[in-house]
Chain A
Amino acid sequence: MARELLRPPRPVGVSDGWEALSDGLAVQRIHLHRAELEEASGKGAAECGLPAQAVPLALLRRPEPPADAATPVVTAAGLLALVTVPQQVGRTSGTSQLAPAASSVAEALLVGTPQGAVADAVRAVCAASAWWVGAFAVLRHLGGHHITIDDDVTDTVPLATLTEATRAVALGSALRVLRRHLQQNGDDDPEVRAAYCRAVTEAVVTEAGMPALLESLAELRLVDLVSNALPWRGQFLKYRSGLGAGQVE
């Protein structure tokens, strides 16, 4: 069983391939822009195109590392990089304003779910999701518009938009953990089934707001992160239409 859990998912369908490409691109972008992240962490909110309440250094604060027992579950869902990159690149100071939104997603999904590796994994990926949104938010002012690409993004993104983005990425990440756990370990546990159903129905409800959210985020890297994070009609749209992503950095 443990060996099964440690095995990362092997792409089966084309969507699995797009998911792997999208995950890889997000990690690539963080490593590509580590110097800019380092520099931004010493700047003020206005200099980074962030609202006054947001502190760049705090947005980059690394979340608590996942419990040991959760790591195989996270790995099986293909999300190990989601939790390890913030540990490697994140900072220690401050409290991210996005963390409570991610935590609230996890707790809403886990109502009635016993403590254990699966619950810890859901909490870990949700917490990490806040870091990823924060990191790309800090880089946002350096990026281009997701449609026109060449036009720089110069406006300030509202904190409410970043909070909504965090909720979407956390939900999508949690959904992947629960899905993979059910696929590998069976569907006998009614509490895990219930958590998965909460995630699926929340994603259905979230879909209605996705176009407006992406327009508000505007910038390519943030839009890629959020739009590919959870199932909706626009997920993997670039890959679906034969385009890549990340050509322009």
Chain B
Amino acid sequence: MSSNSSSVPGFLVVVEGLDGTGKTTLRKGLFRLIESLYGVAPLSILTTNWLDPAVAADLEEGKYRPGPANRDRYLAALRADKRASVEQLVLPALAHRPVIADRWLLSELAFFAVKHDAPAKETYAALEGAIGVTADLTLLLENSPEAAMARAAGRSGDAVRADWDVLDVQTRVRRTYDEVADDPSAFPKLGPIVRIDASQDRAGVLADAWSALREHQLLPALPLKETTA
């Protein structure tokens, strides 16, 4: 049987950015683009979709009711869940297909910076040992907190949180993103960080992300060479 899919290597691409910058649309767009053009369906993972049942209660409490009393327990739970995600999802998938992560490590650094005043490097040091994979690329969608919040506010359901989707919090999140993106060598598990202007239209964001994947040689040039399996 002839197939194109073996021409596409497994790689881990992470999509990060403030709420309302278009991460979901980009994730879906990349999924469709890679599946359609390169013939292999990526695995999409969401960092908010926890995996390790043993720490689910600690994750829920630490994320939605953060405080000094549960800070360390939350950090330990994140370590456990990241380890489970890497071992059960990411590494097995990478043997066959790309993985697209909607938030990964950078978002955790921002959360601890905002909610626990923890420097990004300190949180990174606590988590990196549990993450047995380096992202091949982190795509950071950049927009002003005001513009991102305006877009996020249009969502329905519980996507907008009163203790998180407020201007001062989002401004501090954005500051953490900048701090990390300006010093990528201090955060090697994030891989190369490519900043994308999220104020442009959705198609422009996808085109920039596609270009970044091509420039980092994560996607082969088209047309693919057919292989025989």
Contact = CB atoms under 8 A, between A and B. Distances in A.
Interface residues of A, number: 24
Nearest to A109: B203
A44 interface: no
Contact of A186 (B202, B207, B210, B221): B221
A188 B221 CA distance: 8
B206 A200 contact: yes
Interface stretch (B27-35, B59-67, B81-89, B139-147): B27-35
A185 B221 CA distance: 10
Contact of A193 (B36, B201, B210): B210
A9 to B, nearest CB: 12
Interface residues of B, number: 24
Interface string B183-218: 000000000000000000111101100110010000
Interface string B19-43: 0000001001100110011010000
Given A179-B37, A200-B33, A204-B29, A185 B223 contact: yes
A183 interface: yes
Given A183-B37, A193-B210, A200 B224 contact: no
A194 interface: yes
B4 A12 contact: yes
Contact of B207 (A12, A188, A197): A197
A203 B4 CA distance: 24
A193 B37 CA distance: 11
A198 to B, nearest CB: 4
A183 B222 contact: yes
Residues of A contacting B: mostly: helix
Residues of B contacting A: mostly: helix
B119 to A, nearest CB: 37
Given A186-B222, A194-B203, A197-B206, A231 B36 contact: yes
A186 B219 CA distance: 12
A3 B29 CA distance: 31
B49 interface: no
Contacts of B204: 194, 197
A13 B221 CA distance: 20
Contacts of A193: 207, 210-211
A39 to B, nearest CB: 40
Given A12-B4, A193-B210, A198 B224 contact: no
Contact of A197 (B3, B39, B203, B223): B203
B228 interface: no
A203 B203 contact: no
A38 interface: no
Nearest to B24: A204
A5 to B, nearest CB: 12
A187 B29 contact: no
B223 A198 contact: no
A25 B39 CA distance: 24
5 contacts: A12-B39, A186-B221, A188-B221, A201-B201, A204-B28
Interface of A: 12-13, 175, 179, 182-188, 190, 193-194, 196-198, 200-205, 231
Interface of B: 2-4, 25, 28-29, 32-33, 36-37, 39, 201-204, 206-207, 210-211, 214, 221-224
Given A184-B223, A201-B203, A201-B206, 11 more contacts: A12-B2, A183-B37, A185-B222, A186-B221, A190-B207, A193-B210, A196-B33, A201-B202, A204-B25, A204-B28, A205-B25
